[in-house]
Structure 1
Amino acid sequence: MSTNNKSRILYILKILYECTDEENTISITEIIEMLEKQGIVAHRRTIMTDIESIEESGVDVITIKSTQNRYFIGNRDFELAEIKLLIDAVESSKLITQKKSTDLIRKLTTLVSMHQASELHGHIYVDQRIKPENEEIYYTVDAIHSAINSNKQIEFKYYQYTGRKEKIFKNNGFVYSLSPYALIWSEDHYYAIGYCDKHGKVSKFRVDRMANTIITENEILHKPVDFDIAEYAKSVFEMFDGETKTVELKCTNDLMDVIVDRFGENVKTHELGSNCFKAIVDISISPTFYGWVFGFGNKMSILAPIDVKNEYMAMAKSVVG
């Protein structure tokens, strides 16, 4: 196949992908006119043969039979509805900066026809949710992935905010050393999970607050034999850090959806009369957990263990006082 033939077929494929969909078809005459604008001369029979070759290569080109056949791309890698979902996810993410969101959305719209892309642009709603400003996060995520795959430790500094809302490095710019085990997405944030030398235990760090991240030559400290990433995420991210205990919660029946959403369908529950039930859950005991319980008012209370119940009551009294 000559260079001109290859160039022509590639242009035809480009035209079909960019200009056609189920509601926007194209004829061979229109393809010829578009090719001529690129300085490519072709005849009807040649175009038909090229389209057949494109179909044989696995591209789903649909032909609408008529006095003048019309063509369009059928199945694509992503359907329009899927692209809409991806765009919504990108735009709503608190991990992705507004600049990067705009760039990613532009790239996503190239996966559909230009007609469908214009439809997407017409319906994109950019809300006022908080977006990060740290562009370094993408390189940090990439470094962590590379470190995990190569079994290497990483080093980084960690940001925090002062009471004056000033962003400074934690512990006077201390360089943390981490043996990364996994990246976990929780509550619109990325977290690096691994063994931290400074803390002397498995810890989590928010990726958007990490800076100057580098991969070292040091081999990672391997996970403890009994360490389970899924269990760690369930206990730590659902209610944050704290000693894990089995807690019995008394809830009104209308909170069953909340309990299932939080702890999964396998959560242990028992009826307590006609209006309430008891949920038995393993949870990290912390002020965050107590605040979550308190948010449901008299619809949820702690039954056991007694030390957790007493600590919750003491915290509530301290807030009132």
Structure 2
Amino acid sequence: MPRKEGQKRKLLVLLEILARETDEKHPLSVPQLVEKLQEHGIEAERKSVYGDLNTLNSLPGAPYEIVQLRGRGGGYYMTDVLFELAELKLLVDAVYASKFITARKSKTLIDKLGQFTSRYRQAELDRKVLVSGRIKSTDEKILYTVDALHTAITAGEQVQFKYCDWNLQKKMTPRHDGQLYQVSPWVLVWENGNYYLIAYTEGRLKHYRVDKMQNVHQVAGSKREGAAEYAAFDVNTYMQQMFGMFNGPLKKVTLLCENRFAGAMIDRFGTGPILLPCEDGEHFTMTAEIQVSPQFFGWVAGFGTGVVVAGPPEVRAEMKKTLDRLQELYR
């Protein structure tokens, strides 16, 4: 008896049907699976489909399980393939929250993520409410910039690029008349929805915002520098010390805080700094290493009278100067 048409690809098509058309709320009976196969141009008998289901379930290392629901309205469905729905939602939220990914690329990526679950669950990944009011990049080249930087980091080579700023015409213009920067890239970090490159240059480690980098390319044959400095570098500490990714002199700063802001301090500085209760029972002090910048003073001011710079004296004095200047502006 000749083999029916499409038998060579029947298992693959059946696997795709189960992955995209079924979940625990939407099982398919064997007669329904036969119909679905016919829609794909594959003739199949019920008995052979039962055997195919057993074959698919017995494949070693398969990232799924085909489950049979018995009783009225029962049938077969496939459990999560590779990703659980909650994991996919987490990835979708990360894509939506990323300012450096354009709206068009966000939709493309989320559509691709949706292919890893059933079409019914894919509808749950439509979480567009999350992007309301969010600023998204309009430049998709950043994805290729990130890839070029990862490649250079893996190869251990230096990179060159132009570093840019926005002008009043809302265009990126290179700093220093288009001068090329050459640095040794070590790691990429993601902070506040932006990618930053940590690189060694001019005897120290510095950071660069990736979406402001243009024409990134490896410098062939240039060995990356700064291995000793990076070995002693703690990325998490570096990020905690900075506010708005603005550099400033590194100081040990003591803050006097109302007790209700304990959570805010832990969120910002982690559980490392010690929170020392004050005698009044309503305040505590904590000390952390901070790169002191105008953004840090703005962060403190955001707490009103609830957080005060207690020391050192020069940082406290600079905070007062900042507030005095602001007061002058609003007189």
TM-score by length of 2: 0.90
Alignment equivalent of 2:204, drawn from 194, 201, 206:
201
Q: Mean Cα displacement is larger for which, 135-144 or 292-301?
A: 292-301
- What letter corresponds to residue 35 of structure 2 in structure 1? E
Matched, 1:28 2:30: yes
Matched, 1:251 2:257: yes
8 A Cα contact 2:23 2:77, kept in partner? yes
Change beyond 3 A, Cα 1:9–1:68 = farther
Change beyond 3 A, Cα 1:320–1:66 = closer
- 1:53-132 equivalences in 2 (<5 Å): 53-57=55-59, 58=62, 59-66=64-71, 70-121=75-126, 123-125=127-129, 126-132=131-137
Identity rate of aligned residues, in percent? 33
CA deviations 1:33-53 (Å, max 9, x no partner) are: 121222211111111111111
- What letter corresponds to residue 203 of structure 1 in structure 2? K
Equivalent position of 2:10 in the other structure: 8
* Deviation for aligned residue 1:319: 2.1
Q: Distance in 1 between matches of 2:299 and 2:242?
A: 14
Equivalent position of 1:270 in the other structure: 276
Change beyond 3 A, Cα 1:191–1:137 = same
Change beyond 3 A, Cα 1:119–1:192 = closer
Q: Mean Cα displacement is larger for which, 71-80 or 161-170?
A: 161-170
* Deviation for aligned residue 1:196: 2.6
Q: Distance in 2 between matches of 1:205 and 1:144?
A: 12
8 A Cα contact 1:153 1:220, kept in partner? yes
Number of residue pairs matched?
Answer: 317
| 3-state SS of paired residue (1:182) | strand
Equivalent position of 2:314 in the other structure: 307
8 A Cα contact 1:239 1:285, kept in partner? no
Q: Which runs of 5+ in 1 are unaligned?
A: none
- 1:213-292 equivalences in 2 (<5 Å): 213-217=216-220, 218-223=222-227, 224=229, 226-236=232-242, 240-272=246-278, 273-292=280-299
Q: Distance in 1 between matches of 2:81 and 2:206?
A: 42
Q: Distance in 2 between matches of 1:163 and 1:75?
A: 49
8 A Cα contact 1:28 1:69, kept in partner? no
* Deviation for aligned residue 1:208: 0.8
Runs of 4+ in structure 1 displaced over 4 angstroms? 66-69
Q: Which runs of 5+ in 2 are unaligned?
A: none
| 3-state SS of paired residue (1:159) | strand
CA deviations 1:238-290 (Å, max 9, x no partner) are: 66311111111111111111111111122112111211111111111111111
Q: Mean Cα displacement is larger for which, 2-11 or 151-160?
A: 2-11
| 3-state SS of paired residue (2:257) | strand
| 3-state SS of paired residue (2:242) | helix
Equivalent position of 2:166 in the other structure: 161
Q: Distance in 2 between matches of 1:164 and 1:115?
A: 45
* Deviation for aligned residue 1:20: 0.3
Structural RMSD (CA): 2.0
* Deviation for aligned residue 1:203: 1.2
Q: Distance in 2 between matches of 1:277 and 1:66?
A: 63
Q: Distance in 1 between matches of 2:206 and 2:6?
A: 59
| 3-state SS of paired residue (2:207) | strand
| 3-state SS of paired residue (1:177) | strand
8 A Cα contact 2:88 2:113, kept in partner? yes
Change beyond 3 A, Cα 1:247–1:47 = same
Q: Distance in 1 between matches of 2:117 and 2:128?
A: 15
